[in-house]
């Protein structure tokens, strides 16, 4: 009957996110103020007032999503939640891994915001606009998509970026190769193959310059072992050593987010409830599709927090 906290990734952002938390709870308002100070700009103003295209920029969306997650967490903690005694594991989807590590004490809030700003800028700068692409493949399982990527890689880099479970995989790489893979997927029985409106080919080998940038950034930041183990994206297994975690975060930039395997690991190791802390409900929906024995609960509003506290603390 163990509990894990999960933290959402890019795509869960929306204008106004976190504003109800900031209005209702001083602890949440303090998080947004700390993130603004760390970045030297009013990111909270972009989050709450837009414009949407500015919030969607990778360098803004990543720290913004983290801020909402930590704001919700800080409120839970202010109301009596002790992460170490109540939560067995943390995990996050892509950038959400940084939110999870901030929650578990590996990075300070200010350092997490700055790391994600560096990460967002580096990922955007790694590949010239228009050279890379990503596509969602719906209705094929991992072995079939791996075969398609291998065939399409004759045209350039092409690999699985995210295995989200439930027959939903995201591929990433050079534009011509990804387009070829999407066409092959349809031929081989995929229900849909959709090119995604993203600004760069995330989690592909083309992100190598961004991985180098993150290696340097992570070497120069204070790190502590997390108070509860992290289920790492690229390993789908628990890690508790801060140095090892930093190496895996570098690997994650060009590696696969193994979310299906992460949820399966939870199910196989006694985790019955995943609380998704932060904006949206994407991970909650994925959990249901991957393993129905795992109950997903989204926590991102004052009402959600109140309901979660009744279960977590009583």
Q: List CB contacts of 303: < 8 A, sequence separation 6 or more.
A: none
Residue 181 pLDDT: 98
- Could you tell me if 108 and 222 are in contact, meaning their C-beta atoms sit under 8 angstroms apart? yes
- Percentage of residues in the chain with pLDDT exceeding 90? 97
How far, in Å, CA of 65 to CA of 201, rounded? Answer: 20
Looking at the structure, tell me whether residues 82 and 180 fall in a common domain: no
Of 174, 198, 222, at which residue does a domain stop? 198
Main-chain dihedrals φ then ψ at residue 296, nearest 5 degrees: -95, 135
* Confidence grade of residue 298 (pLDDT, cut at 50, 70, 90): very high
Q: Which residue blocks in the chain are alpha helix, DSSP H?
A: 19-24, 26-39, 43-49, 52-56, 58-78, 83-86, 96-103, 109-125, 142-152, 175-187, 208-219, 242-254, 259-268, 282-290, 302-312
Summarised one tens digit per residue, pLDDT across range 127-182 is 998 899 999 999 999 999 999 999 999 999 999 999 999 899 999 999 999 999 99
User: Are 154 and 270 part of one and the same domain?
Assistant: no
Q: What CATH number does residue 191 fall under? A: 3.30.70.250
Residues 103 and 170 both lie in one domain: no
Cα angle vertex 2, ends 234, 20, to 5°? 80
Q: Do 140 and 166 belong to one domain?
A: yes
Name the residues annotated as catalytic.
94, 203
- Assign 296 a pLDDT band (cuts: 50, 70, 90): very high
Give residue 1's pLDDT. Answer: 82
Residue 16's CATH number: 3.40.366.10
**Residue 93 DSSP symbol:** S
Sheet of 168-174: strands edge to edge?
158-165, 168-174, 132-138, 192-195
Let me know whether 6 and 121 are in one domain.
yes
Q: pLDDT tens, 198-248? A: 889 999 999 999 999 999 999 999 999 999 999 999 999 999 999 999 999
Give strand pairing partners of 205.
Answer: none
How far apart CA 171 and CA 186 sit, in angstroms, is: 14
Residues 6+ apart with CB under 8 A from 97: 7, 91, 230, 232, 233, 249, 252
* Predicted pLDDT of residue 198: 86
Residue that is last in its domain, among 198, 218, 250: 198
DSSP track, 35-61: HHHHHTS-HHHHHHH--HHHHHSHHHH
pLDDT of the residue at 183: 97
Give the total number of structural domains in the chain. 2
Looking at residue 159, the DSSP 8-state letter turns out to be E
pLDDT of residue 146: 97
Residue 199 pLDDT: 83
33 lies in the same domain as 179? no
* Residue 51: cis peptide before it, omega within 30 degrees of 0: yes
pLDDT tens, 66-117?
Answer: 999 999 999 999 999 999 999 999 999 999 999 999 999 999 999 999 999 9
Domain that holds residue 183: 133-198
Q: Does residue 295 carry a pLDDT above 90?
A: yes
Domain stop point among 198, 221, 252: 198
Same structural domain for residues 15 and 157?
no
Mean pLDDT of 254-266: 98
Residue 314: is its pLDDT beyond 90?
no
Q: Are residues 224 and 272 in the same domain?
A: yes
Query: C-alpha 97: how far from its chain's center?
Result: 6
User: Are 138 and 240 part of one and the same domain?
Assistant: no
Q: What's the pTM value of the predicted model, to 2 decimals?
A: 0.97
């Amino acid at each position: 009957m163990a509990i894990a906290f999960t933290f959402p990734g890019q795509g869960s952002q929306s204008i106004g996110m976190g504003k109800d938390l900031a209005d209702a709870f001083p602890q949440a308002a303090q998080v947004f103020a700390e993130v603004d100070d760390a970045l030297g700009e009013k990111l909270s103003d972009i989050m709450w007032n837009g414009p949407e295209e500015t919030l969607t920029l990778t360098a803004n969306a990543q720290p913004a999503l983290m801020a909402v997650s930590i704001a919700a967490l800080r409120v839970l903690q202010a109301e009596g939640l002790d992460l170490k005694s109540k939560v067995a594991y943390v995990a996050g989807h892509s950038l959400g891994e940084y939110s999870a590590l901030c929650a578990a004490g590996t990075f300070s809030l200010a350092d997490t915001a700055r790391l994600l700003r560096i990460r967002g800028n580096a990922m955007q700068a790694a590949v010239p606009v228009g050279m890379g692409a990503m596509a969602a493949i719906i209705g094929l399982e991992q072995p079939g998509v791996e075969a398609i990527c291998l065939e399409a890689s004759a045209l350039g880099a092409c690999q699985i970026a995210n295995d989200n479970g439930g027959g939903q995989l995201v591929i990433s790489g050079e534009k011509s190769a990804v387009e070829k893979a999407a066409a092959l997927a349809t031929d081989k029985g995929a229900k849909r193959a959709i090119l995604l409106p993203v600004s760069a080919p995330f989690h592909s080998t083309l992100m190598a310059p961004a991985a180098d940038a993150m290696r340097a950034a992570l070497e120069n930041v204070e790190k502590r072992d997390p108070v509860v183990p992290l289920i790492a994206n690229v390993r789908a297994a628990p890690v508790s050593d801060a140095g090892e975690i930093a190496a895996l975060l570098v690997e994650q930039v060009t590696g696969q987010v193994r979310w299906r395997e992460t949820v399966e690991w939870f199910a196989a190791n006694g985790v019955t409830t995943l609380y998704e802390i932060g904006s949206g409900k994407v991970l909650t929906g994925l959990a249901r599709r991957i393993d129905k024995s795992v109950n997903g609960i989204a926590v991102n509003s004052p009402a959600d927090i109140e309901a979660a506290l009744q279960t977590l603390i009583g």
